[in-house]
Amino acid sequence: MDLKLKIWRQADANAEGKFVTYPVHNISQDASFLEMLDVLNEELVTNGKEPVAFDHDCREGICGMCSLFINGRPHGPDDSVTTCQLHMRKFKDGETVVIEPWRAKPFPVIKDLKVDRSPFDEIIRSGGYVSVNTGGVPDANTIPINKENADLAMDAAACIGCGACVAACKNASAMLFVSAKVSQLALLPQGKVEAKRRVESMVAKMDDLGFGNCTNTYACEAECPKDISVANIARMNREFLCAKVT
């Protein structure tokens, strides 16, 4: 299949960016979206031009490195996948595909389609863990955990930190990301110990970094490649409310 790509090109963080149009030809329907970009890049390099920079790594939908806002949707026109798992059979021959970087104040563009997502790390650093050191912990089966909660915790823990929730949200809010970690740990007895401190400092950090406010639009849930539920956001709100009033 042949496609017309409109890709955001930006030399570095301080440069002015612009859209550049590239045609690509003879793309297989079975290729992944990133493999299609590989083909384009190979062609660009062969012609001595700078290839399009985009983040990617595992190419199996788990590392959270790939991003891309494709035709108005983070990770493109398929549900519950990352861009690396998006296949060209989801596109029509001759289609124009607009590829943009994630857009949010806390996620500045580094180059072309790569953005800086380190604010997510900063949020986790502010408390997204259980403060135990190596060694000196009890036997793993000492604390029975109800299966339902363990499963809910796993649902939340599936977050890959890709930032699609922020990219999709009309307010560039990071609530789904933050709430996934808060929820995972709030649901488990190990995490309950410092639950109050955790939710307060993570939310404060999220606000400081300049993410927008949640308006319960649920675009985040719709676009999350790991189907993280907005019930986690409610759980975080609840945790936060309890932390504030107690």
Partner 1 sequence: MSVKYSSITKKIWMSLMGLFLMVFLVVHLSINLLLLVDPSRELYNTAAHFMGTNPFIQTFQWVLFLGFTIHIILGFVLQIQNWIARPKGYKIKAKSEESFFSKYMIHTGIIILIFLGIHFVNFFFRVKIFHTVPDYILNGVNTGMEDMGIVVVKLFQSPSYVIGYVIALIILGFHLDHGFQSAWQSIGVNNSKYTPFIKGFGHLYAIFIPLGYIAIPLVIYLTT
Partner 2 sequence: MTKLDSKIPEGPLAEKWTNFKAHQNLVNPANKRKIDIIVVGTGLAGGSAAASLSELGFNVKVFCIQDSPRRAHSIAAQGGINAAKNYPNDGDSVYRLFYDTVKGGDYRAREANVYRLAEVSNNIIDQCVAQGVPFAREYGGMLDNRSFGGALVSRTFYARGQTGQQLLLGAYGALSKEIKKGSVKMYTRREMMDVVLKDGKARGILVRNLVTGKLERYGAHAVLLASGGYGNVFFLSTNAMNSNASAAWKAYKRGAFFGHPSFVQIHPTCIPVHGNYQSKLTLMSESLRNDGRIWVPKKKEDAQKIQKGELSPVNIPEEDRDYYLERRYPAFGNLVPRDVASRAAKERCDEGYGVGNTGLAVYLDFKDAINRLGKSVIEARYGNLFQMYDKIVDENPYETPMMIYPAIHYTMGGIWVDYELQSTIPGLFVGGEANFSDHGANRLGASALMQGLSDGYFVLPYTMQNYLADQINVPHLDTDSPEFEKSEKYVQGNLDKLLAIKGSKTVDSFHRKVGLIMWDYVGMGRSKEGLEKAIEDLKSLRKDFWSNVNIPGDNTGMNVELEKAVRVSDFIELGELMARDALSRNESCGGHFREEYQTEEGEAMRDDENFMFVSAWEYKGVDEEPVLHKEPLNYENIEVKQRNYKTA
Report the greatest alpha carbon distance in the chain. 64
Residue 233 interacts with partner 1 (CB under 8 A)? yes
3-state helix, strand, coil in the chain (%, to 5): 40, 10, 50
How far is it, in rounded angstroms, from Cα 99 to Cα 117? 18
Is residue 44 within 8 A of residue 53, CB to CB? The reply is: no
User: Closest distance between partner 1 and the C-beta of residue 204, in Å?
Assistant: 6
Binding at 81: pick from partner 1, partner 2, none (beta carbon under 5-8 Å per type): partner 2
User: Closest distance between partner 2 and the C-beta of residue 42, in Å?
Assistant: 5
| Residue of 66, 206, 65, 187 whose CA lies nearest to 127 | 206
Binding at 165: pick from partner 1, partner 2, none (beta carbon under 5-8 Å per type): none
Residue 21 interacts with partner 2 (CB under 8 A)? no
Q: Which is nearer to partner 2, 189 or 215 (CB)?
A: 189
Extended strands (E) in the chain: 3-9, 18-24, 69-70, 73-74, 96-100, 109-111, 114-115
By CB under 8 A, which span of 42-50, 64-72, 119-127, 138-146 interacts with partner 1? Answer: 64-72
Residue 128 interacts with partner 2 (CB under 8 A)? yes
How far is it, in rounded angstroms, from Cα 69 to Cα 159? 18
Q: Which is nearer to partner 1, 51 or 77 (CB)?
A: 77
Q: Name every residue whose Cβ is closer than 8 Å to that of residue 36 and which is 6 or more positions away in sequence.
A: 3, 24, 27, 88
Amino acid letter, 86:
L
Angle in degrees, CA 237, 240, 244, rounded to 5: 140
Binding at 1: pick from partner 1, partner 2, none (beta carbon under 5-8 Å per type): none
Which residues, in sequence order, are bridge partners of residue 97?
Answer: 5
What secondary structure letter does DSSP report for 170?
T
How far is it, in rounded angstroms, from Cα 206 to Cα 124? 10
- Report the site for partner 1 in 112-151 (rule: CB under 8 A): none
1, 24, 53, 222: residue in contact with partner 2 (rule CB under 8 A): 53
Taking CB under 8 A as the rule, which mask of x and - marks residues 152-171 in contact with partner 1?
----------------x-xx
181, 214, 226, 228: residue in contact with partner 1 (rule CB under 8 A): 214
Residue 196 interacts with partner 1 (CB under 8 A)? no
User: Closest distance between partner 1 and the C-beta of residue 138, in Å?
Assistant: 31
Residue 244 interacts with partner 2 (CB under 8 A)? no
Radius of gyration for the chain, computed over Cα atoms and rounded to the nearest angstrom: 20
Residue 190 interacts with partner 1 (CB under 8 A)? no
Token pair belonging to 53: 């920079």
Contact residues for partner 1, defined by CB under 8 A? 6, 19, 69, 71-74, 98, 100, 103-106, 168, 170-173, 203-204, 206-207, 210-219, 221-223, 230-231, 233-241, 244
